Amino acid sequence: MTLPEPGAIAGLRVIDLSRVLGGPYCTQILADHGADIIKVEPPAGDETRDWGPPFHEDDAAYFIGTNRNKRSIGLDLASEGGRTVLMRMLEDADVLIENFKPGTLDKWGIGNDMLRAKFPQLIHCRISGFGGDGPHGGHPGYDAIIQSMVGLMSATGSQESGPTRIGVALVDMTTGLYACVGILMALAERAKSGLGQFVEATLFETGLAIMHPHTANFFMHGKPPALTGNEHPNLYPYSVFAARDGNIFMGVGNDGTFRKLCSELGKPELGADPRFARNRDRVVNRNELRSELEAILKQHDAEPMCRRLLAAGLPAGPVQSIDKVLANPHVAHRGDVIEKDWYKGIASPVRFDRTKASLRHVPPKFSEHADAILGEFGYSSDEIGKLVASGVVARERKR
């Protein structure tokens, strides 16, 4: 039996107070690469355990998808006893991550100033909607609301559909990625200074940061983006095109690639046509070029054509549903689906040649590891029993 890889950040201990998506996604990235993640859940549990169907033994797939390789303890941080337990856990922690409303930890007497004084090496990361200051400081943030507020929806969709929400929680998950990057940067800096620091990642700033190229375009010409559906505002062809049995997305980044595409499609003269020779011309004359390209593509099936174009070094892919994606031979070859017992998930996309990511633990049941975790921090069986009896530690979810 092959033992799981220890991972690039094995030995890092993270106390994870976060719930829902951004924070748990961040800590799953760290967990996959070896960090010890102690997921501290409120007595009611992470609410995404209920965000289904589908479910596995009462836990929703939504929760299961972002909480592998973690251990769980139910702890009432609103109680003084719960905060006392947390303080003991932080004595041996490298990172604390939370997504409480800004000011909540201060109200409980464990705000960042107190944490910095008591644990000077601790990295404290907070994920929030808008941060703790400014006109929206402390306001709740939700992925779709941020998509609407930062312009993502106004740049997504067509004239027919109107502004459209992106079909995945892009802002939440990207905020988790930024938080992860921030934590790793702070750890790298700590190796030099010996000091921890406060790391803040907000949904609002993340939403703004990923609005490229629309913000860059606006700074240049002062025009908000139009609703162009699958069209790219700066490149063409870079869109969905109809083939005989489905749709293809083709992306062309420069004039040389366009000429190569035209040759591969059997119409090299299009590459020299003055309407299409340069990208700036193709953007202006996109409708005429679409007609030319689709007249060729509608004579071919989508997947074989895409394989042919990819083999020629040309960016193209069939527009597929998730069932076809997961059945793709490339997914199997790369080991992109990982399994353990009943669990299936998508492997970490960060690949190392030596310190590989691994699936060590399936997502935890609520407070599954409470006794073991408390034992690690020096609590006796009698003390654990008293914490459970007082409600400070919850072994079962309070509905």
Domains, the chain, ranges and CATH?
Answer: 13-210+335-394 (3.40.50.10540), 238-242+247-318 (3.30.1540.10)
- CA 63, 68, 74, 78 torsion: positive or negative? negative
- Nearest residue to 169 via CA among 293, 66, 272: 66
* 3 state SS of 154: helix
**Annotation says 172 is catalytic:** yes
Cα–chain-centroid distance for residue 16?
16
Q: What is the pLDDT, as a whole number, of residue 228? A: 84
**Spatial CB neighbours of 386, under 8 Å, sequence gap ≥ 6:** none
Q: What is the pLDDT, as a whole number, of residue 371? A: 98
* 3 state SS of 40: strand
- Per DSSP bridges, beta strands 59-60 and 343-346 are unpaired
- Nearest residue to 240 via CA among 207, 286, 209: 286
Q: What is the pLDDT, as a whole number, of residue 2? A: 61
Catalytic annotation, pick one of 16, 172, 281, 382:
172
- CA 376, 382, 386, 389 torsion: positive or negative? positive
Q: What is the pLDDT, as a whole number, of residue 399? A: 83
Q: What is the pLDDT, as a whole number, of residue 5? A: 74
Q: What is the pLDDT, as a whole number, of residue 113? A: 94
CA distance 153 to 176: 20
pTM: 0.92
Q: What is the mean pLDDT of each run of 10 residues along the chain (399 residues)?
A: 79 98 98 98 97 97 98 98 98 97 95 96 97 92 95 93 94 98 98 98 97 94 90 92 96 95 96 96 96 97 95 95 95 97 97 95 98 98 97 95
Q: With beta carbons less than 8 A apart as the criterion, state whether 197 and 123 touch.
A: yes
